[in-house]
Amino acid sequence: MHIRIATGLLALMVALMFTEAAAAQSAVVAVTVIKAGRLLDPETGTATTNQIIIVEGEKIKEIGSNLSIPPGATVIDLSKLTVLPGLVDAHTHMAITYKEQPENNYYYLTYVMESSPLRAIQAASNGIQLLNSGFTLIRDVGNNAMYADTALRQAIEQGWLPGPTVIPSGPIIGSTGGQLWPTPEMYKQHNIVFPEYIDADTPDEIVKAIRQNMLLGARTIKICVDCKPWGYSVDDIKLVIKEAAKGGCKVEGHVQTPDGAQRAIDAGIYIIAHGNALTPEHHRQMAEKGIFLAGTDTPFTKYRGSEAAFKVTVGKLRDAWEKKVPLTFSTDFDYWNDRMKNDQTGEWLSRGEMTIAFLDTWKAANIPARDILYAITINGYKAADIIKERGPIKPGLFADMIAVSGDPLTNIDVLRNVQFVMKNGMVFKKDGVMTPEKFFHPGPVRTPNGRWTR
Ligand SMILES: [Zn+2]
């Protein structure tokens, strides 16, 4: 009896091995060759001309000026364009869009009126719009309903649909209340704080909340440092950093007071979100410690902001740049209104177009194009802690890249009009037009077992 079971198992194993071997043999890996007129390296701020990039499957295989084109390869001629790595929004919110109507811009109401599944679908649409504007990587840091951010990450990783690589945080972890000031009824009887925030006051609760987020797919941990007067102490933040590191996650702190900023800096946090409360002295310390700033530098447009607020934002960004803080390009985008239209055509602006419009603030702060480019690429990959896997155009890394007309090193505005987008070796946009059909499948093409992977 035992022998018969063992023999049966052995036969099954052999059969499986043959099936796998056959599958490996028959799998044809697509080879794409890109002819780049100019290839820009934002790390060094230099460009080389007439480069050939060979992409095999999802990754970059070889780059050079004298490579021969492998037989059967698809050749993409970008000889009139500048090829560069994909862009990064280091602080955004994909699964929340609060509006003037009906919620009067109160996101409490969005949370009550829009379901998690609806918000997840909005997130999928936002991802496609961002990829169309050249954003191949985003950090998606909270207020995303019931883990719609980690679901988006998983869906894109599995190959269900196109989108940027998502670094999700799951719900924001904070001391009682998060950023909300609920009524007793909503707090006690309806647990209104979760899932927008996880209440975690004691060390045990903090550890538990971090483990829950990592269990459910978070790749970064986002905390409210000082959303409440009873915010986190230096020791609390150190505990967060230590626990998050066990799951390979870096920590971002939402900061809105000078005291909170100082506590976050003293604890050695990885990223500080929102530049408004930061003083020149904070900037000096952040530069010294290498703490990333996701300033969320909102421009003054007809659909958002005020002249006075913009002036403050520009001044703070300028000071942070002068003090050499590691800057990231970040938006905090999570809103919509009916003034979001193109002046000339009257057409709706896409989420991607409004995201890249944050360049207005960087230009107003007189930051050189080369440094803006470094912030929107290299520092973005570093802040996302992914630079060893994807971002730079180098052999062995995932093939994520974009192309534009003109030279972003001298005119940063050319980033507003991305002509070509490749993500994971697949062409998403060509000649200025989205061609995403290859991204759609009737099922997952990667990690089909559904497990969270790192
Ligand atoms: Zn935010």
Q: pLDDT tens digits, residue range 360-385?
A: 999 999 999 999 999 999 999 999 99
Side chain identity at residue 244, one-letter code: A
* Predicted pLDDT of residue 443: 85
C-alpha span between 454 and 448 (Å, rounded) = 14
Residue 22 reports pLDDT greater than 50: no
C-alpha span between 194 and 176 (Å, rounded) = 11
Sheet holding 418-423, edge to edge: 59-64, 46-56, 31-41, 74-85, 401-404, 418-423, 426-430, 433-434
C-alpha span between 368 and 74 (Å, rounded) = 37
* Predicted pLDDT of residue 454: 57
Q: 348: how many CB neighbours lie within 10 A of its CB?
A: 13
C-alpha span between 133 and 127 (Å, rounded) = 10
Is residue 192 within 8 Å of residue 167, measured between CB atoms? no
Q: How far is the CA of 274 from the centre of ligand 1 (A)?
A: 8
pTM of the predicted model as reported, rounded to 2 decimal places: 0.93
Q: How far is the CA of 141 from the centre of ligand 1 (A)?
A: 6
Q: How far is the CA of 320 from the centre of ligand 1 (A)?
A: 19
Extract the tokens encoding 433.
Answer: 């037009």
Q: 100: how many CB neighbours lie within 10 A of its CB?
A: 12
Extract the tokens encoding 341.
Answer: 């239209």
Extract the tokens encoding 220.
Answer: 């970064």
Q: 429 by DSSP, 3-state: which?
A: strand
Residue 3 reports pLDDT greater than 70: no
Instruction: List pLDDT tens digits, range 401-443.
Output: 999 999 999 999 999 999 999 999 999 999 999 999 999 988 8
Q: How far is the CA of 179 from the centre of ligand 1 (A)?
A: 11
Residue 92 reports pLDDT greater than 50: yes
* Predicted pLDDT of residue 27: 66
Q: What is the DSSP letter of 415?
A: G
Q: How far is the CA of 9 from the centre of ligand 1 (A)?
A: 53
Q: In which residue are the tokens 């009126």 written?
A: 113
Instruction: List pLDDT tens digits, range 265-279.
Output: 999 999 999 999 999
Residue 10 reports pLDDT greater than 80: no
* Predicted pLDDT of residue 108: 87
Q: How far is the CA of 413 from the centre of ligand 1 (A)?
A: 25
Q: How far is the CA of 87 from the centre of ligand 1 (A)?
A: 18
Measure the CA dihedral 319/325/328/332, to 10°: -60
* Predicted pLDDT of residue 442: 85
Is residue 260 within 8 Å of residue 179, measured between CB atoms? no
Q: How far is the CA of 294 from the centre of ligand 1 (A)?
A: 9
Q: 284 by DSSP, 3-state: which?
A: helix
Q: How far is the CA of 44 from the centre of ligand 1 (A)?
A: 30
Residue 376: closest CA among 367, 270, 439, 224: 367
C-alpha span between 141 and 333 (Å, rounded) = 11
Residue 342 reports pLDDT greater than 80: yes
> What's the rounded mean pLDDT across residues 303-312?
96
Q: How far is the CA of 299 from the centre of ligand 1 (A)?
A: 15
Q: How far is the CA of 167 from the centre of ligand 1 (A)?
A: 14
Q: How far is the CA of 406 from the centre of ligand 1 (A)?
A: 32
Residue 9 reports pLDDT greater than 70: no
Q: How far is the CA of 52 from the centre of ligand 1 (A)?
A: 39
More confident residue, 453 or 341: 341
> What's the rounded mean pLDDT across residues 171-177?
97
Q: 26: how many CB neighbours lie within 10 A of its CB?
A: 7
Phi then psi for residue 91, to 5 deg, are -155, 100
Q: How far is the CA of 284 from the centre of ligand 1 (A)?
A: 23
Q: How far is the CA of 347 from the centre of ligand 1 (A)?
A: 27
Extract the tokens encoding 120.
Answer: 């997840």
* Predicted pLDDT of residue 446: 83
